[in-house]
Chains A and B, each alone.
Chain A
Amino acid sequence: MQRGLDSETKKQLEEEEKKIISEEHWYLDLPELKEKESFIIEEQSFLLCEDLLYGRMSFRGFNPEVEKLMLQMNAKHKAEEVEDETVELDVSDEEMARRYETLVGTIGKKFARKRDHASYEEDENGDIKPIKAKKMFLKPQD
């Protein structure tokens, strides 16, 4: 006696079900539209077209802040065309290295235990002396 359906008939039924489901889905019956790549970009702004100066101006020292701004904005405008930009660091590398050197010592002191405080003695200048070798118990030789 056959229990249930054959595997073949099962497969067929499944396929038919899938077909019914997919046919129910909506789709657009249009021909394939090819996207036209346009090489023309539309811009309504005059900023791209003409190099205009900055809108605030002051002459003969009437408003010193605006005069400073004028130099800044108009120079920025011209500097964009020249591509030599040197990145100015706020803090130089040497200063960074020095800071880190002292920083490690001061923070280390905070977490050092009382016994280790001896190794963090400070010089006259306030610099931390290099750590000396700890004195360990030496076993006497026979």
Chain B
Amino acid sequence: MAEPVSVAAEYLAGSRARAARTVLGQVVLPGEELLLPEQEDAEGPGGAGERPLSLNAGARSRVRVVCGPGLRRCGDRLLVTKCGRLRHKEPGSGCGGGVYWVDSQQKRYVPVKGDHVIGIVTAKSGDIFKVDVGGSEPASLSYLSFEGATKRNRPNVQVGDLIYGQFVVANKDMEPEMVCIDSCGRANGMGVIGQDGLLFKVTLGLIRKLLAPDCEIIQEVGKLYPLEIVFGMNGRIWVKAKTIQQTLILANILEACEHMTSDQRKQIFSRLAES
């Protein structure tokens, strides 16, 4: 832990913008400015904080860089707004300088367009349902945004039901709106989540960790017994297994695996497999 602290202290002492490329994988603090690769050439080692930003359009062709969660655009640089590790992803195909983002941890969810979330129906008023997604206001869900729903054929949704849907409108100025169909009109697994099961809350970082393509936890859990899990990007997980005991074991494992090392986890799984 001494390493990130010393690095941060050095930065604060120097108060010079660092190149994003050199900071990948390290801890960054809010308020830091990061330089993008093209700007490093102009900034020599003795460069003070200020240098004239001469945008010579003809000289260099700029690539489009996407700044993801935890970063903001500040002139030509990236400004860090959350503390965490800086990550970068190269562009797969096509143009663009890739994506930079900060891998941070938080419990409070802020609605983002395109995210799939689990919501709880809290009210039914006229043609829309009010769904609690864990944000600052309840999202609205129209009864027509279900697969095969028409004005005569209304979906069977009651207050207290769990809904798996995605946001179509989610910004700080408006009430978030969600739907349970995709752009082609198909449900794709969205809609009312079935009976029974258990809903519990975890941190947002854990959800992303569990949904990573190479997550061992999910693979190991899947081998235990038949079960079903739904992950919502708002930190909510719904699990269901054949018996209540199995469901509770599963919920405990998922909540605890955030703070366990892989060895401890393997121990627990082997003990479960035995019993």
* B-binding residues in A (CB < 8 A): 36, 38-63, 66, 69, 73, 81, 83
Contacts and interface: CB of A to CB of B under 8 A. Distances in A.
A40 B67 contact: yes
Contacts of B230: 55-57
B116 to A, nearest CB: 5
Interface string B44-81: 00000000000100000011111111011100101000
A106 B92 CA distance: 54
Contacts of A40: 36, 64-67, 73, 76, 78
B208 interface: yes
A130 B246 CA distance: 73
B21 to A, nearest CB: 15
B43 interface: no
Contacts of B231: 55-57
Nearest to A74: B213
Nearest to B193: A56
Contact of B228 (A41, A46, A51, A58): A58
Contact of A42 (B72, B114, B240): B72
A39 B39 CA distance: 12
B147 to A, nearest CB: 13
Interface in B61-117: 62-69, 71-73, 76, 78, 87, 89, 92-93, 99, 101, 110, 112-116
B208 A52 contact: yes
Q: Give the 7 A-B residue pairs with the shortest CB-CB distance, closest first.
A: A59-B222, A60-B226, A62-B226, A52-B211, A55-B231, A39-B62, A58-B228
A93 to B, nearest CB: 25
B89 A62 contact: no
A38 B114 contact: no
B66 A45 contact: no
B212 interface: yes
Given A44-B69, A44-B112, A45-B115, A50 B93 contact: no
A43 B211 contact: no
28 contacts: A39-B65, A40-B64, A40-B67, A41-B65, A42-B66, A42-B73, A43-B67, A43-B68, A43-B69, A46-B68, A46-B69, A46-B208, A48-B68, A48-B99, A49-B68, A50-B208, A51-B213, A52-B211, A53-B211, A53-B212, A55-B232, A55-B233, A56-B189, A56-B228, A58-B227, A59-B221, A60-B227, A69-B188
B225 interface: yes
Contacts of A45: 68-69, 112-115
Contacts of A44: 68-69, 110, 112
Interface centre among A38, A46, A51 (most CB of B within 10 A): A46
Contacts of A38: 73
Contacts of B241: 62
B106 to A, nearest CB: 12
A62 B247 CA distance: 13
A66 B228 contact: yes
Interface in B210-245: 211-213, 218, 221-223, 225-233, 240-242
Nearest to A67: B228
B211 A55 contact: yes
A51 B208 CA distance: 10
